[in-house]
Structures are given as structure tokens and as C-alpha cells.
Amino acid sequence: MTNITNDLVPHYTKTDFEAVATEFLSEYYPKALESPMPVPIRDVVTKKMGLRICEWHLTEDLSIYGQMCFTSGLVEIYLPETEEYKEIKVRWGTMIIDPDTLNQRNIGCQNNTIAHESFHWWKHRDYHILQSVIDKRAAKVYKCPTTILDNTKQGEWTDEMWMEWQAINVAPRILMPVQTFCTLVEQFESESKVNPYVKRQLIPARKWIIEKLADFYVVSKESVGIRLDELGLIIF
């Protein structure tokens, strides 16, 4: 059973993340645990979780990829055509994704952002709803910054930082579940040995495999590389 703080923040360690991702998929998309397949995370969010996805710019510099709205009310978005911020009204369960996650990054970045925000809704909405009851002035939304958390200062982290750390780590595990990811790695590793470009050393095997995995799972190549290293699947 998950430990919950007095503020309703679930307590996880890094060793829990694979199990938490499996729990998410078991509830919303169990097929992904049976055989390798890309997780249609946008459909999972809208059709299985009942959330609404809207694409609006959140900042002028893409310092925030996404935002989860836990209660109805006014939220701030950025209008690049007029270079100004504006408040709009949204309903609870609205996920806002900055379109520049696709326009300036890639579809993998956008899918990871959607998975990230869906995890916040799934595991962290009780915390945010509680905060809105305790303090009526408290934000009822959570904006996910693109800055990297300093793991060496976890003792100084706020509740929001702990929840962000959880979402950062679980999102790619949802999109690339360990149960099937390793199987596909083995398949592509075998295929790389007969690939003419790899055999002629025109492309390193690891690079070729990462590109194949990224295309298959519709995630970023960086995310695949991190996933391989986390699972100890070091391919040269």
C-alpha cells in the first residue's frame, strides 16, 4: 500500500516507478503490457481517463511544457500574436499542452508531456484539491516547468518538487513499459546485426536501435537512451 503524507502526497522511491507505471497501464491500457506497441497516450487520456486536452501557449519561452487543471476557474495562457498573457476560463480535468512541444521539439516530447500530466491527475489531484480547500487563493492548477531538479538537494524539496520528480520518472515508463520494451530491444538488436548500414559502420548499432525504438514508441531519442541505461541495456 502506498504511503501518503498528511498533505495527500503519495510517497514513492525510485524502485517503485516501474510498478507504478504498470499499475497505470493495467488500469487504462493493459494491452501495452502484453506485447510491444506504442501507447496511444492522447486517446488514453481523453477516452479512458475522461480528461480534456487543449493546446495553448503557456509561456513565451516554452519554459512550461504542460499544465494540469484540477478544478474549474481562470488560468493564464500566452498569446504569441499579441505577445501578452491572458486569463481564460477552463473546467476541471483540462490538460493544457503548449503546442511548441511539437513545433519546437518533437512528437515524442509532446507525448511525454501528455503522459506526465496524466500522471499528475491520476496520483496528485487529491493534494491539489485539498490545497484549494485549505487556501481559496491557492492555485488549482499545476504548471510543469522544464527545469531539471537537483537530486542532491532532495532534503530541501517541496511537495510540488516531489510530485514533479515522480511524474518525470513515471511518464517514460508508461510510454515504454519494461514488460515489452526489453523484448523489442532484443528484436532490434538482432536486426541491427544484419542491417547493411550498421554492418558497414555507417551508423553505430546503438544509434540505429535508439532511432528504431523512438519511432516505434513515438518518443524522443533522448528518452529512449535514458530508458536503455536505466534498465542496464547498454548497447554498443
Contacts of 117 (CB under 8 A, 6+ apart): 45, 66, 67, 68, 95, 97, 144, 167
Closest CA to 112 of 42, 33, 10: 42
Counting every residue, how long is the chain? 236
User: Contact 87/75 with Cβ under 8 angstroms?
Assistant: yes
pTM of the prediction? Answer: 0.91
Residue with grid cell 476560463, as numbered in its chain = 89
C-alpha cell at 14: 525510485
Cα 117 from chain centre: 6
User: Contact 193/221 with Cβ under 8 angstroms?
Assistant: no
Which pLDDT value is given to residue 72?
87
C-alpha cell at 133: 480547500
Domain boundaries, the chain: 3-175, 176-236
C-alpha cell at 229: 541505461
User: Quick one: DSSP state of residue 152?
Assistant: G
Which pLDDT value is given to residue 1?
46
C-alpha cell at 5: 503524507
| Tens digit of each residue's pLDDT, the chain (236 residues) | 466 665 677 888 899 999 999 999 999 999 999 999 999 999 999 999 999 999 999 999 999 999 999 988 889 999 999 999 999 999 999 999 999 999 999 999 999 999 999 999 999 988 888 777 666 544 467 777 777 787 878 888 888 888 899 999 999 999 999 999 999 999 999 999 999 999 999 999 999 999 999 999 999 999 999 999 999 986 66
